[in-house]
Structure formats: C-alpha cells, structure tokens
Structure 1
Amino acid sequence: MTSNLDPRQKLFVALDLSSLSEAERLVALLGDSATHYKIGYRLGYSDGIAFGRELAASGKTIFFDLKLHDIDNTVREGVESIVRTGAHYLTVHAYPQTMKAAVAGREGSGLKILAVTILTSWNDVDCAEAGYQGNVTTLVQNKARQAVAIGIDGIVCSAQETGMLRAAGIPDRIELVTPGIRPKGAEIGDQKRIVTPSAAIAGGADRLVVGRPITGARDPAAAADAILAEIATTLG
C-alpha cells in the first residue's frame, strides 16, 4: 500500500484520447496538476507508446494499460519491450500463464505488473454471460489470490472491492489500482462499479485512474485539482 501523502501520487490521469496532439495539449494544460498518466488502447495503438516513453523520460510516472493476454512467449516478449520504454506500470489479464510470463518478462527491471481481475464495466450478469461461474466478488478474490502467489505487484479492481480484498488477505505491499472513479455529479458512462475519489481512498485504494471527468472537462486542470483536493482531504 502506498503511503505518500502527496495526492498527485494517487492519481493517474487516463489519456484516453484519439490523437497525439490531443494528448500533448492535455498534458500541457494539466501542468503540475498531474504527475502520473495512464495510456491505454486508444492512444497506445497510435502514437501512445512513443509518447509514454517521452513522458517517462521527462519524469512522469507512466502506466501502460494494455491488458496483455496471449501465449507465454508473446506476453514475455511484449513485457520486455515495455520495459525498454521506461514505463512504471503495465496491465495484464489475471490468467495464471499470462501473469507468470509477464513476471518473467519484467525480471531485473522496475516495471510493476498489475493484474486485471474483472473489468469495472462488468457486473454479475456480464460474468455469467462470459461463462464464468460465481459472482464478481468471488472471481475478483480468486484472481487476486492467484496474482499474489505468482508475484504480481498490484491488482486492478473496483474501489468497491478494495476493502474486501484486504480482508481476504491481500497484503499491503500489493497496490490496489482502481478505475471507475467518478466525482459526485459526474456522468457514469459505461462503468457499472463506481465510487467517488474520497470513497475510493477511504476504502483503501492506492491509486485512482480518472479519465473522462478530467479529459472531458472544460477546464481539465481545475477538474484535476478538485479531485486532488478531495483526495488530500481524505488523506488528512
């Protein structure tokens, strides 16, 4: 669990934008309000990998949310490539073989591997439709325990599940990273398991991932600052 009281250390701004120019503009607008950035599919599959490398070189903390899942050799080699970008975090899906390959690929580096348990856009019905047995809570617990045993550094989960995971024995050294964060009054969008920033921090989340409430705001820096203030109040 992270203990740094600087709220910027808790907030990943999701650069879920369609072009490099939009991402560059947002980073410039945010300035010192953001030090941690997440790059996912939308930007990553265009210019996002190179941009992440640049941001990492400039001192920003970079989280590539690529959710790798493939045969062992492909995952391991993919992780080795991400290590060379200087990124700090990378997601993989929480399947045992995939997680083991990712841990092997990052060996000797500072890259932290995060396991995605169940997407925050899923609920029990979605899990059943996908062929899973058990509800979201059971699946998240089981996948998280596997991840810890394999040597994963953190878990991506809903903030509604952080307390449950700690109570289930997930140790404090495992970072709990929570998407699906929505400030009070923000649109829910396609998320189903959401909480506010303050509730997420109070519930034990180590890192928050916030996209549209910041990237879609008229004043992104003001939106980020409001979330940071909420986090700071909760941290005390």
Structure 2
Amino acid sequence: MHRDDELPLIMALDLDTLADARKTLNLVRGKLDYVKIGPRLFALGGVHFVKEMVDYGFKVFLDLKLHDIPNTIRLAVEAFGGIGLWSLTLHAAGGRRMLEEAVAARDRMGSSMKLFGISVLTSFNEEVWSEATPGCPMEEALRQRAWLCDDSGLDGVVCSPLDLPVIKDRVRPGLLKVVPGVRLTSLGDDQTRIATPCQAIKNGADYVVMGRPIYKADDIESAMNVIGDSIREGLKG
C-alpha cells in the first residue's frame, strides 16, 4: 500500500522516444512517485533505462503483460526480480501454474517486486471481447481472472475502473487494484471503459494509471494539480 503522503498515481510513459520520456519525467519529478514503462520504451531502453528511472527515485511499474509457459515466465521473473522494479505485470490468461511459478520465483529471490495480474484490457468492449473470446461473457472472465490472481498469490490485479464492482466480492480486501482507463474527460481514444480519478478511487482502486492526460496537457503542472485534487476527493470517501 502507498504511504499516506504519497499520491496513488502511476504515470504511464507511453511516449515515442527515450528523450521524450526523460523530458516528461524531469517535469514531474518530485510531484509523483510511480511511473509505468511499457513495451515500446522497454524495447528502446531496456534494463538500462529501467535502472535509470529507479536511480532517479521513481518506483517503476514495468507493464509487459508477460504470458508464456510457466518455465519461461519463471526465468523472466528471475531476471526482472533483481533490477529494482516496484512491480511487474503478468497476464492472468496464462493460468494458475504460470502465475504460481512467477510468485515462487520472486519469493525464492527475496525480491520485493510486486506482481500484478492483467485481467481484461481496458480497450475491450463486449463486441470486441466476444470476437476474441466467443462463448465467455466478459464479466465472468473478469471475476474468474481476478480470483485466480488472488488465489495464486499475486499482489494485485489490473482492471478497468468499471470492473471494480464486478470483482469486489471475488477477491480479498488486501488485493491491490491497479486501474488504467482513468480520464478527467473522455479523449475519444482507444480506452473504452473509463472513469475519473475520483470515481476510480471511490470504487476501490488503490492506484490509478494515467498517461496522455498528463504528458499531452498544455500545462503538465496544472494537469497534475487537477488530477491530484480528483484523487484526494476520492480518498475522502
């Protein structure tokens, strides 16, 4: 869980270049603690870039959504567990054995790295979901995957803000909920299941993930202030 004086905001660095990422981080340094690195920046900068962010004092959420056979995931977790990550994502669709292998590998290392399970991507709506997964209602998959992440020993689950009420009765209260798809207003982009920071926190999010509303803002500091106010309003209950 985050500290009382720590804003539970993870900034998604979904930027085109390492230079853009560094420039943005310099603007928000001291204003937030958590940053999310996805596939593009990791492909460009690798472990060196991750360690650079850690050295800057950021808590790095490496969002690679690992999904493979259990032994391959075990080897990956062993490699990632020693580079100073705050957290790493795995896809819940990989199943129990894969998730448990990841937890066991992390624990054998004595690493403090958190493991979060991806439930269903926030870009999915019912139509897109049924095309990719015919015969299984998205809500049922959400509930089952959240329970599986919890039962397999993961630290948390990643889900849409609109999914929080759906999974609430399927997971223990202490399971961390990391919530992307958070917007101050709709941007008309590829996120379809969204909510404001205040709504997400009130619905049970422990951390909210926001990228474009921050780094595409005309005034990043003002955007951070508005987002912070919305989160703090949600924390009041």
Distance across 1 between alignment mates of 2:3 and 2:173 = 14
Kept in 1, the 8 Å contact 2:106–2:113? The answer is yes
Asked if structure 2 preserves the Cα contact closer than 8 Å seen for 1:33 and 1:225, the reply is no
Matched-pair contact (CA < 8 Å) for 2:82–2:111 = no
What is the match of residue 12 of structure 2? 14
8 Å CA contact retained: 2:6, 2:33: no
Match of 1:124 among 106, 123, 126: 126
Structure 2: which 5+ residue stretches go unaligned? none
For residues 98-155 of structure 1, what are the alpha-carbon distances to aligned partners after superposition, in whole Å with 9 as ceiling and x for unaligned? 3122212212211111000110100122221113432221110001111111111100
1:164 is aligned to 166
Once residues 7 and 235 of structure 1 are traced to their aligned partners in structure 2, the CA distance between those partners, rounded to angstroms, is 12
Task: Pick 1 or 2: higher relative contact order, CA cutoff 8 A, min separation 6.
Answer: 1
Asked if 1:190 corresponds to 2:208, the answer is no
Greater shift, 103-112 or 192-201, is seen at 103-112
Per-residue deviation at 1:48?
4.8
Describe how 1:67-82 pairs up with structure 2 within 5 A.
67-82=65-80
Q: How many residues align?
A: 232
Q: In percent, how many aligned pairs have the same letter?
A: 35
> Separation in 1 of the partners of 2:113 and 2:134?
30
Does residue 18 of structure 2 align to residue 25 of structure 1? Answer: no
| Rounded Cα–Cα distance in structure 1 between residues aligned with 2:48 and 2:2 | 30
Residue 150 of structure 1 corresponds to which residue in structure 2? 152
- The Cα of 1:20 is off from its aligned counterpart by 1.1
Q: Which runs of 5+ in 1 are unaligned?
A: none
Q: Is 1:180 the counterpart of 2:181 in the alignment?
A: yes
